[in-house]
Structure 1
C-alpha cells in the first residue's frame, strides 16, 4: 500500500465489489453479503479488528453513514418532505450509491493506515526504550569491568611498591 491514499485509489475496487455483488444477485452465487475485515484505529495504543458489511447497503447503513458525514443525528431533523427529484430517483441512486461505497472503502483504508502508522510508532518507541536499557546495562557492565581492571592494576602497583620496601 502506498503512503497516501486518495479516493481515486478506491474507486476501481469499490466498482469491482459492486459488480461482483450485482452478479451475485442475479446468478445466485454462494454468498449474500460482502464484508470487510480491517483494523479500526481507536488510539495510539489501541486498535481492534472489526468486520464491516460493505454490501448490501441497508437503509440503516446509509442513515448511519449520512449521520457521520453530517455530524448529527439526521432523524432529529425535520420530517422528510416530498421532493421532485431530477433527473429521476434511479439515476440519483445509481450515482450516489457508488459514491457512498467508495467513501466507505476509503474510510476503511484510512482507518487501516492510521492503525498501521500507530502500530509502527509504538513498535519503534518500544525498540528505542529497549535499546536505551541495553545501552545502560552495557555501559554499567563496561564501567564495572574497567573499575575492576583499574583496581587490580593499583593493587599490583601497591604490592610491587610494598615488596620493594622490604
Structure 2
C-alpha cells in the first residue's frame, strides 16, 4: 500500500514537497461533455444566445480556471503553465434528439509536478460556463462524465485512457 502523501505526521493535510523532483515537460488532456436540448444546440451553432458567443466565453473560462487551479483545489501547487487549449466538438444525432458538446482541455508545463488537475479544472469550468450561458433555454442540461484522457511526464510515467 502506498504512503498517503498529502498528510503530515499528525494526520493533517499538507501540500507535498516536490523540490527534489526533476523538472520535466508535463502535459495532460481532460474531457467532459454537456448534453443540451435542440434549442441550445441551435443557439450555440447559430450564435444567437443572448449572453454572447458561448464557446468563446467557455474557452476563456477554461483557460482562467486552469491558471487558477491552486486557488480552487487546496493541495495543488501553483505552476507556470506554458500552454492551455480548450476545444469543442458536437456529437449530434438529430433523429434521436441527441445534442452533446464534447470539450477537451490540453495543458502543458515544464515543472516538478503534473498538470492533470489543471486540465480537469479547465474542462469543468468550461462545461459549467456553457450551462450558465444556456440555462435560460433549458435547465435539464447534463454535464459529464469528466475524465483524464492522458498525461505525460513525471515519475509515474505516461498514462493514456483506453
TM-score bracket for this pair, using the shorter chain length = under 0.3
Q: Which has the higher contact order (CA 8 A, sep 6+)?
A: 2
Which protein has the bigger helix share? Answer: 1
TM-score by length of 2: 0.24
Which protein has the bigger strand share? Answer: 2
Structure number, greater radius of gyration: 1
TM-score by length of 1: 0.23
